[in-house]
Amino acid sequence: KAIRNRRANMDVLIALGTSAAYIYSLLVTVLPKVFDGEVYFDTSALIISVVLLGRYFEARAKGRTSEAIKKLMGLRPRTATVIMDGREVELPIEDVEVGQIVVVRPGEKIAVDGLVTDGASAVDESMLTGESMPVDKKAGDQVSGSTINKNGYLKFRATRVGKDTVLSQIIRLVEQAQGSKAPIQRLADSVAAVFVPAVMGVAVLAFLGWYLVGGEAFIFALTAFISVLVIACPCAVGLATPTAIMVGTGKGAQNGILIKSAEALEKACRVRTIVFDKTGTVTKGKPGVTDIVATDGFSRDEVLRLAAVAEKGSEHPVGQAIVDAARGYRLEPTDPESFQTFGGRGVAAKVDGKEVLLGNRTMMNENGIDNGPYEGKIQELEGNGKTVMMMSVNREMAGLIAVSDTPRENASEAIEQLHRMGIETVMLTGDNRRTAEAIAGQVGIGKVVADVLPEDKVKAIIQLQQGGRLVAM
């Protein structure tokens, strides 16, 4: 292939060297009276075997990475429900066009990128952003293909389809990374472009020198020509980089690390700033109940039990966290007598004949419930990066439940080790600053960049790089 493209590389020299050794050995074996000397069949076979083994290891490492592409492609929905001529029609995802109105029901994947035109829902965008909490969507908001509609009915106008969707761009990035070469590997190829012709020239000069100037026999001069090619065969250079990549990617895989490119692996040792996402990286990625505050007339167990019954029919992660907490206290929630969810605000349920409302400030204000006496405690909990749910029973405040995504058990230790290595740590998240700073303070991360949209995270990384430091995320 290299010869066909008129480009000399290490493969050319390896092929010439091993072929020369094999042909010479064959001549010695077949014509022993004409060619007298040692045979090098074993040398040719060994060099080719080692080179092929290196290629196998490299291909295996790329095969592991291609599994990531297959999983990403598996995230795509296969069909979409589109409104055509006033009725809903199910189309293959490939047939959806920009400008069409797409319908998505609770629990379905959003087919393509678009702009919400009607409806309201919470959308799970964790496959794109890593954030465990669903994002509330209403008319005018952007939605991304392959994210999951949790609990509402949405209509949206398709704005990006096919290869232009966010998921397709991510897949393209991984594919480009697979085909990349380490800088040292590119350097080796550049050297080979000069080295190979030079070796060929020296081999020819050796032949001509011994045959024409030295007056030696043709066979002796040919042996000198072949010897130069065999000795110059750069099997070590050709194998060094693939072997290093194989070992590096293998050790990374053992520790749950996907090496996205050879260049990334080579640069890793020079990293001086590491940027972390918050949810699912520094934290567990799953909210849990951290605080329960009961008002006069209610116990903490009663507040938790009533809230769990009210949330039993909810698919929201906060509701599921409350139900899990109740079960942890052996307060198995029964089914509510009635249940209604209000997107972006909370839930209403009838429990033991009582009207239970559980939600945020907006929910309480809309129902005329006074949470003023507890505002100080609410602000204190929110100041620690927690999501606070307020609960009323029969239109009277009954308690507060705080939910938070807690740090991983080993996060503080990992951050401390990085600091000892002289590496700066930064948290980059789409969460609000108050929540982000609370988590960063718990694990020891010194710098926080919050309220950043997914598409703006690259800009934030570029700003960090402007200080001349090599940045990893």
List the catalytic residues. Answer: 277
The structure tokens 């795509």 sit at 76
Kindly report the length of the chain. 473
> By the 8 A CB rule, do 186 and 142 touch?
no
Residue 4 structure tokens: 């066909």
Residue 425 CB: number of other CB atoms within 10 A? 20
Residue 174 structure tokens: 């991984």
3-state secondary structure of 450: coil
Dist CA 273 CA 473 (whole Å): 8
DSSP strand E in 75-184: where? 79-84, 87-92, 101-104, 113-119, 121-124, 135-137, 142-143, 148-149, 154-160
> By the 8 A CB rule, do 61 and 246 touch?
yes
Q: In what order do the strands lie in the sheet with 113-119?
A: 87-92, 79-84, 101-104, 154-160, 113-119, 142-143
